[in-house]
Amino acid sequence: MKVSEEYGNKITRVAVIGTGFVGSSYAFAMINQNVADEMVLIDLNESKAQGDAMDLNHGLPFGSPMKVWAGDYSDCAEADIVVITAGANQKPGETRLDLIEKNAKIFKSIVKDVMNSGFNGIFIVATNPVDILSYATWKFSGLPMERVIGSGTILDSARFRFLLSDYLNLDVRNIHAYILGEHGDTELPVWSQARVGLEPLSRYIEKYMPDATREDLDRIFVNVRDAAYDIIEKKGATHYAIALGMIRLTKAILRNENSILTVSTLLRGEYGEEDLYIGVPAVVNKSGVERVVEIDLNEEEAAAFRHSAKTLKTAMEPVRRLSD
């Protein structure tokens, strides 16, 4: 069933701002997964956006019916979702937090132009540092917090599930495990709540993998946390997996799925924190973030989450200055 049929024949539109590695990968995935009726590509480099639109349109006979074009900020007025992937990329040796000041200034201009179009939908932010730029988008836009969503730790959680499934030699869809906190160096694995099917991971390993060690599991998390550095060193950018994670988030919104995803959203007392965007499980539907899901963290995990939150709050000062 087409999305428009589910919503009373309303034509659904997604605007993609930034046609670099992530934006173009997201756009390619969009035409393969029948997510929306229309997609407009917007980029400071108009020629790049036009070239991508042409290339994608030539693939439509093999993909999903969709109207695709290169446009401008005025096209955001009728958009249900604006996806922001624009900004300076993380370079080899840089952390995501190194990008704050330059990308915050870029975002202030982008969000202003989007809002001036009359946009009244939902923002999805993917540009790094995603937690801080999601907070910036919320502040710059004036929209309710539920309608500004960062990709958060969707990708980190996917990496976590994949590496665990590979280690356990099990279908990744039966691994239920999450990364919380900053999408970055202070993120944390929630080992205490990890499940294999319905069974706690610790019990599954005890029963079926007696030779497994804590060092093995610690190594898995380090590989999750540092995956971006490794990929960037090897090929210059990470883009396929995050694009697919954003498609998952887009579907949850447009199809009103009430899905629980580890997105970056505003905390208002949950997990003992407030006034920051950070990666936590949340229910996502057509309204955006309906609510944050508070899961039980053990003492070590709670301390790690507080450290991650403190790191983000300290790093957020350039954004607070720009939004004053």
Catalytic residues: 183
Residue whose C-alpha is closest to residue 59's, from 47, 50, 68 = 68
Spatial distance between the Cα atoms of 311 and 97, rounded to a whole number of angstroms: 10
How far CA 94 is from CA of 134, 265, 275, 323, in Å, comes to: 20, 24, 26, 25
Is the CB of residue 14 less than 8 Å from the CB of residue 250?
A: yes
Q: How many Cα atoms within 13 Å fall on the side-chain side of residue 142?
A: 8
Residue whose C-alpha is closest to residue 225's, from 155, 284, 275 = 155
DSSP class of residue 283 equals E
Is the CB of residue 19 less than 8 Å from the CB of residue 84?
A: no
Tokens of 108: 């202030």
The helix (H) or strand (E) run that includes residue 6 is helix 3-6
Tokens of 136: 């910036």
Pairing state between β 199-200 and 195-196: antiparallel
Spatial distance between the Cα atoms of 203 and 30, rounded to a whole number of angstroms: 39
Is the CB of residue 258 less than 8 Å from the CB of residue 37?
A: no
What is the b/e burial string over 251-272, where b = at least 16 CB atoms within 10 angstroms of the residue's CB? bbbbbeeebebbbbbbbeebbe
Tokens of 3: 């999305």
Residue whose C-alpha is closest to residue 26's, from 260, 257, 249, 253 = 249
Around Cβ 120, how many Cβ atoms within 10 Å?
A: 13
